[in-house]
Amino acid sequence: MGIDRLDGRIIVLLAEEPRIGVLEMSRRLGVARGTVQARLDRLQSNGVIRGFGPQVDPAALGYPVTAFATLQIRQGQGADVRAHLTTVPEVLELLTTTGGGDMLCRLVARSNADLQRVIDRVVGFDGIVRASTAIVMENPVPLRIIPLVEQASEDREGTQPTRG
């Protein structure tokens, strides 16, 4: 499912001002309130917008160290490893991957010394064979979506539907 320019403008406005109401959004975008509401409902039901929660900085919570751990797991242990990793609060994200490892997880810790405790907890599970960890030094391009939203909405405007 693609997005059009209005969808993109709605998403950008929500990213800039997450607490904006539908009525104010419709006023700023110059479209009817019902149109904005219908677009928001569709974007949510299609999974484009996944939530409206606050963005929380782990460093501000006392977890300034970020690391990535590449995990190699035992054949057939994926579900068990996933279940184990969901019990570790410092595991912020888990992705299954191709290449040298089977899973990649983003971890946070209170310090470099605390990172060892987190890693020990992560790998202290029988289904994990090996782990390789890299500590993040800086994050010059934090996770961002808005440039992609803008590109996707422009791409959609430039294409015409094909008729079969």
Cα(36)–Cα(25) distance, rounded to whole angstroms? 7
- Is 154 within a domain? no
CATH of the domain at 66: 3.30.70.920
Flag whether 149 is in a domain: no
Is residue 90 located within the same domain as residue 127? yes
Count structural domains, the chain. 2
Same structural domain for residues 87 and 44? no
Please report the pLDDT score of residue 1 as a whole number. 66
pLDDT attached to residue 43: 96
Domain that holds residue 128: 58-135
Distance, in Å, from the CA atom of 124 to the CA atom of 109, rounded to the nearest integer, reads 17
Tell me the CATH number at 39.
1.10.10.10
The answer on 32 and 81 residing in a single domain is no
Give the CA distances from residue 46 to residues 1, 4, 20, 80, 148, in Å, rounded to whole numbers and listed in that order. Answer: 8, 14, 21, 30, 17
Which residues, at least 6 apart from 109, have a Cβ–Cβ distance to it below 8 Å?
A: 63, 65, 67, 90, 115, 117, 118
Domain boundary among 15, 37, 54: 54
Q: Are residues 64 and 129 in the same domain?
A: yes
Answer yes or no: do 66 and 120 share one domain: yes
Residue 153 lies in a domain: no
Please report whether residue 145 resides in a domain. Answer: no
Beta-carbon contacts of residue 117 (< 8 Å; ≥ 6 apart):
109
Which of 33, 54, 75 is at the close of a domain?
Answer: 54
The whole-angstrom separation of Cα 107 and Cα 68 is 6
- Tell whether 71 and 127 lie within a shared domain: yes
Burial per residue of 65-90, b for 16 or more beta-carbon CB atoms within 10 angstroms, e otherwise: bbbebbbebeeebeeebeebbeebeb
What pLDDT is stored for residue 37 in this prediction? 97
pLDDT for 54: 86
- pLDDT for 157 equals 61
pTM higher than 0.85, yes or no? no
Ramachandran sector of residue 76 (left: φ over 0; alpha: ψ -120 to 50; beta: rest): left
pLDDT in tens, the chain (164 residues): 689 999 999 999 999 999 999 999 999 999 999 999 999 999 999 999 998 888 899 999 999 999 999 999 999 999 999 999 999 999 999 999 999 899 999 999 999 999 999 999 999 999 999 999 999 999 999 999 999 999 999 886 655 444 33
DSSP 131: E
Which segments within the chain are labelled E, that is strand? Answer: 65-73, 91-96, 103-109, 128-135
161 vs 164: CA distance, rounded Å = 10
